[in-house]
């Protein structure tokens, strides 16, 4: 049984905004799955529907076999969420925040205390847990929220943009923490992000979501392999389309070469970059040219005509 | 990626409703206790009315001493709306900067969140009404206390509190910001108080406003509370015009109970709809 099953899931908000347009995906138990896309792509709306805080307008979704619309209490019982924004009771202590979650998710009190102590230790919260959550730094609060989500032993954990708004050092620490969650093999993680490095580092598979639709879904390695081992990027003054056609005619570029604005990107499957650059120079087509390894941003750019980093 | 099929743990047994409700009520109480303004501010105005303005009016208007107990109970009709509306502010804080979103993903019926808040609002209101009455007694104001009378008083005050808290929840879930909420409080909590016979009998109002007052739940609540603590059925008579005070009290209790039921169900519906967009 898959831990998450999403079938033609759609959400149209009052006023006609189509945030999610019939997406399908499945996540196996124990998998770390990423929803990658810029702000407004539909990631948080998808998480909202899966966590039953947003009502789908069409389609269905199941968590551990429980339909989120028809059996929402059961779906909520097997899942936990770490939200994009801070969602804690600031005037209560960290421990009390964790206890409330444990009680509402039905964890036996004695077990809950042991679990809280264990999580506080493993997430570096032992010294903080008796302090009001409002006194925590951004990274500490986010670790508290992760601990809270884990108190109830969820089968499915949702991490909605968990590192947004954190400074680089705290973000790096938190990524370590999230990477550590992979060792909890019984838990399935759905992570939304617009950071490419997060998706590449943390996720077994990634769905790239754009304007409410999934435009690609595979492992990060397979998505990157679509663009070959290397790619050549050139800036073109003038007719970009004409240059693209010429490169294809000369066999330098394949069908997957693409242009966005004045930038032309040529994935290299058969050539090595030195050969391609030499051929382009011989044709006298480019103003500036460089070669590098492909990134998920290139995948996103090819699929949507938009840069993920810029759109985020 | 792990390709092995991993068994998903069976969900634990559904928690009993009372456990989560107690957890939610305790949470709300702890949050309220850390916000002293919610406890003390609603008390200030009613106590001032009971202890300062009522004796001053008694002297200025040359009325008898029973006017003080009349106004003391009238101020309960101000205390309850003010306190419940202040409690409603906590709902907005919870939504904007608290843990409401986390609670919405909990495996419990969402109506329990509201009932947890309601139970704390009722408890705090009971405490405040007790303080108000105790201060009034300490000031020398006399009440006509009987067992049955206390029952009428408590029933009226409790049901009116429930209804007013429902009003506060509905408002809190329909306005996005605290500023907009606070701007509406005078119209809901204070305006009806002037029309409901808090400081003078509703028969002293112009005929049109007397008719309006008879439809206000607060008018029924105050008449019933005075019947309970002063043994005075004139407020009930001004509403119903019957000769049997007990029958009129039962009718007014029914009105307040209907008000409480309607607003509680309405608030659960509004909250549930706003919780799942």
Assess: ipTM above 0.95.
Answer: no
Measured between CB atoms, which of B34, B109, B276 is closest to A54? B276
Mean pLDDT of B169-198: 94
Distance in Å, alpha carbon of B94 to nearest chain A alpha carbon: 8
CA distance A97 to A112: 12
pLDDT per position as a tens digit, A265-290: 888 887 777 777 877 777 776 668 88
Number of domains in chain B: 1
User: Which two structure tokens, joined as six digits, stand for B260?
Assistant: 């409480």
Q: Does residue B9 sit within a domain?
A: no
Classify domain A4-223 at the CATH topology level.
Rossmann fold (3.40.50)
Residues of B in contact with A155 (CB under 8 A): 8-9
Of A226-240, B31-45, B115-129, B196-210, least confident by mean pLDDT is B31-45
Q: How many CA atoms lie within 13 A of A279 on its CB side?
A: 18
> Whole-structure pTM over 0.90, yes or no?
no
Cα separation, A107 vs A103, in Å, equals: 6
Q: Which domain holds residue B36?
A: 19-275
Nearest-CA residue of chain B relative to A152?
B12
CATH 3.30.70.260 is right for the domain spanning A228-293:
yes
Per-residue pLDDT reduced to its tens digit, A154-179: 999 999 988 887 778 778 888 888 88
Beta bridge partners of A4: A27, A63
Residue with tokens 């009502």, as numbered in its chain:
A55
Flag whether B173 is in a domain: yes
| Residue B59 in domain | yes
| Any A CB within 8 A of B179 CB | no
* CATH topology match: A4-223 vs A228-293: no
Q: Which string of b and e fits A33-54 if b means at least 16 CB within 10 Å?
A: bbbbbbebbbbbbbbbbbbbbb
Contact list in B for residue A101 (CB cut-off 8 A) is 102, 106
Residue % of chain A over a pLDDT of 90 = 52
Angstrom distance (rounded) from CA B235 to CA B202: 8
B 82-111 residues inside an 8 A Cβ radius of A:
97-109
B141: Cβ contacts below 8 Å, ≥ 6 apart: B50, B68, B69, B72
A232-236, A285-289, B135-139, B203-207 — which one is most confidently predicted on average?
Answer: B203-207
The domain limits of chain A are: 4-223, 228-293
Q: Give the chain A residue whose CA is nearest to the CA of B34.
A: A91
Q: Is residue B5 part of a domain?
A: no
Residue B53 within any structural domain of the chain? yes
């Amino acid at each position: 049984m898959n831990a998450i099953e999403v079938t033609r899931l759609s959400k149209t908000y009052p006023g006609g905004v189509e945030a999610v347009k019939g997406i399908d995906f499945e996540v196996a138990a124990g998998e770390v799955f990423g929803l990658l896309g810029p702000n407004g792509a539909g990631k948080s709306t998808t998480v909202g529907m899966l966590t039953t805080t947003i009502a789908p307008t069409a389609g269905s979704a199941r968590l551990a076999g429980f339909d989120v619309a028809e059996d929402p209490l059961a779906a909520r019982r097997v899942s936990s969420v770490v939200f994009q924004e801070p969602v804690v009771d600031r005037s209560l202590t960290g421990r009390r925040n964790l206890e409330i979650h444990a009680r509402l998710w039905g964890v036996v009190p004695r077990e809950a205390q042991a679990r809280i102590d264990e999580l506080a230790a493993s997430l570096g919260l032992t010294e903080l847990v008796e302090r009001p959550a409002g006194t925590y730094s951004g990274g500490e609060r986010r670790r508290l929220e992760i601990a809270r989500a884990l108190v109830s032993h969820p089968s499915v954990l949702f991490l909605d943009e968990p590192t947004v708004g954190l400074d680089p050092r705290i973000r790096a620490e938190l990524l370590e923490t999230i990477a550590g969650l992979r060792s909890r093999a019984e838990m399935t993680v759905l992570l939304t992000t617009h950071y490419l490095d997060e998706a590449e580092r943390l996720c077994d598979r990634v769905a790239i979501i754009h304007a409410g639709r999934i435009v690609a879904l595979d492992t990060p390695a397979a998505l990157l392999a679509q663009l070959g081992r290397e790619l050549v990027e050139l800036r073109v003054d003038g007719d970009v389309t004409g240059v693209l056609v010429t490169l294809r005619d000369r066999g330098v570029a394949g069908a997957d070469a693409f242009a966005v604005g004045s930038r032309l990107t040529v994935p290299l499957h058969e050539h090595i970059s030195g050969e391609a650059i030499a051929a382009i120079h011989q044709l006298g087509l480019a103003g500036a040219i460089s070669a590098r390894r492909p990134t998920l941003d290139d995948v996103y750019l090819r699929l949507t005509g938009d840069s993920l980093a810029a759109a985020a | 990626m792990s390709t092995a099929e991993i068994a998903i743990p069976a969900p634990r047994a559904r928690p009993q409703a009372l456990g989560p409700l107690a957890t939610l009520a305790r949470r709300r109480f702890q949050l309220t206790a850390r916000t002293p303004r919610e406890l003390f501010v609603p008390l200030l105005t009613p106590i001032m009315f009971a202890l300062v303005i009522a004796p001053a009016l008694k002297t200025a208007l040359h009325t008898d001493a029973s006017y003080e107990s009349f106004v003391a109970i009238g101020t309960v009709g101000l205390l309850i709306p003010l306190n419940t509306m202040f409690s409603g502010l906590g709902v907005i804080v919870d939504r904007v900067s608290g843990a409401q979103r986390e609670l919405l993903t909990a495996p419990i019926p969402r109506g329990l969140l509201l009932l947890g808040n309601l139970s704390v609002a009722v408890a705090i209101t009971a405490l405040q009404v007790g303080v108000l009455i105790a201060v009034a007694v300490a000031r020398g104001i006399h009440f006509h206390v009987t067992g049955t009378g206390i029952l009428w008083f408590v029933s009226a005050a409790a049901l009116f509190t429930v209804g007013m808290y429902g009003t506060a929840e509905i408002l809190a879930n329909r306005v996005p910001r605290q500023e907009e909420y606070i701007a509406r409080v005078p119209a809901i909590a204070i305006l009806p108080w002037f029309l409901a016979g808090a400081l003078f009998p509703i028969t002293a109002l112009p005929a049109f406003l007397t008719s309006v007052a008879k439809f206000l739940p607060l008018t029924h609540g105050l008449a019933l509370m005075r019947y309970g603590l002063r043994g005075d059925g004139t407020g009930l008579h001004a509403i119903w015009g019957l000769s049997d005070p007990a029958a009129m009290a039962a009718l007014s209790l029914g009105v307040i109970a209907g008000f409480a039921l309607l607003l509680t169900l309405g608030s659960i519906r509004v909250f549930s709809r706003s919780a799942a967009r």
